[in-house]
Amino acid sequence: MLADTRRGALDGYTIAVTRPAHQADNLCRLIEAEGGHALRFPVIDILPPADIAPLQARLQDLPDDQLAIFISANAVHHAYQALGGQPLPESLLRAAVGQATARALAAHGQPAHILPPAPYNSEALLALPELQSLQGKRVIIFRGGTGRALLADTLGERGAQVDYAEVYRRIVSSLDPERLYRAWDKGKLDMIIITSNEGLRNLFARVDAGYQERLLGTTLVVISDRSATLAQELGFIRPAIVARAASDAALLKAAKCYAQESR
């Protein structure tokens, strides 16, 4: 029997995946199915709020809200944890920023009413007709402890009363970067996938001075032009590859396109 000599699109490539550990598995499987080696290196850990009392107090007022916006799948899961398994009020419109967030809502039995088109970001959500006139409406944004103010500021300008429900917090991962150093020493780290500006800053801060040059010479795959601009400001040599969306499929496609062009 002849050996199967077919090559995957990522054959021979090592790609660091920096998603939080509990969210990295699917993307790593996709990379490995294309012949690549996925190196897990989460740069952010996701934890519940340090003090849950303010959140629980705010959740008591959900029946008075008209619109709930979920920034991420993490926001969905931690919101339902804070609710103790209780559903959101049926009268509350649910908006998801991206597809993964919408899937998370559906998994909890309450699908999103509002979902923007690609590239599935705050700007696309704000462009939808449903969010143009919000005079006097109460809006709650479920998110982590920090984030962009674009949604809240814009909706406030459109007449909404906007509150945040900070249902989780992000901290810098304590994972030893030695695994990155070993890969660079062997010349086997071709790409790093970054899914937030905070993650990129964390990565930059975690790498010792002796390996900064290696880091800055590594190709990044990012999910927004903002992250590509930040990479340039930090001194990365090559322009970052910008995926069309934050989904695993879009990140994989961007990595494959780069690999094919660079062979």
Query: To which H or E segment does residue 156 belong?
Result: helix 150-157
Contact by Cβ (8 Å): 56, 196? no
Tell me 114's DSSP state.
Answer: B
- CA 117/CA 131 separation, integer angstroms: 14
Cα–Cα distances in angstroms (integers) from residue 253 to residues 104, 124, 242, 258, in the given order: 22, 21, 10, 9
Residue carrying the six token digits 């069309």:
244
Count of all residues that appear for the chain in the document? 263
Domains of the chain: 14-43+175-262 (3.40.50.10090), 47-170 (3.40.50.10090)
Residue 262: the pLDDT is 86
Residue 6: the pLDDT is 57
- Please, what is the end-to-end C-alpha distance for the chain in angstroms? 29
The band of 118, judged by pLDDT with boundaries at 50, 70 and 90, is confident
**Bridge pairing between strands 169-172 and 138-143:** unpaired
For the residues 95-110, what does the mean pLDDT come to? 95
- Joined together, the tokens standing for residue 4 give 């199967």
Q: Quick check: 245 pLDDT over 90?
A: no
Residue 2: the pLDDT is 41
The band of 120, judged by pLDDT with boundaries at 50, 70 and 90, is confident
The band of 174, judged by pLDDT with boundaries at 50, 70 and 90, is confident
> pTM of this prediction?
0.84
Contact by Cβ (8 Å): 156, 141? no
- CA 80/CA 105 separation, integer angstroms: 9
Q: Quick check: 76 pLDDT over 60?
A: yes
Q: Quick check: 4 pLDDT over 50?
A: no
For the residues 102-111, what does the mean pLDDT come to? 97
Which residues are bridge partners to 172 per DSSP? 44
Q: Which residues contact 169 (CB under 8 A, 6 or more apart)?
A: 46, 47, 48, 49, 50, 144, 145
User: For residue 216, which phi and psi values (nearest 5 degrees)?
Assistant: -70, -15
